Amino acid sequence: MAEARNPNDPKGLIRESYRIDGITEAECRSILIDWALSLPDGVTQTTALSALIDSYGATAPDHPMTQLLRDGMQGPSVTGRRGGRAGRLRH
């Protein structure tokens, strides 16, 4: 019997990552990038990440993918402008 398709994990990449015994954080990062690129239009990354944490992370809180999903909910850190001519001329 086939599993129901999850709209937040259209290719089943995240689901499968939890099934790989001994998967590393680096491998999870690669899978997560592929997952992010495959999200369908209209599905926001934050909403999907939250749903995936609820679906998969609750039963595997110590899995490396769970930590990456949680990190993804934090969003990118804002470090400000880096380098460039305009940055050098300001000082």
pTM, full prediction: 0.76
Q: What is the pLDDT of residue 83?
A: 65
pLDDT at 2: 57
Q: pLDDT tens digit string along 38-47?
A: 988 888 999 9
Whether pLDDT at 6 is above 90 = no
Domain boundaries, the chain: 13-76
Give pLDDT tens digits for 17-40: 999 999 999 999 999 999 999 988
DSSP labels, the chain: -PPPPBTTBTT-HHHHHHHSTT--HHHHHHHHHHHHHTPPTT--HHHHHHHHIIIIITT-TTSHHHHHHHHHHH---------SHHHHHT-
Q: 53 pLDDT exceeds 60? A: yes
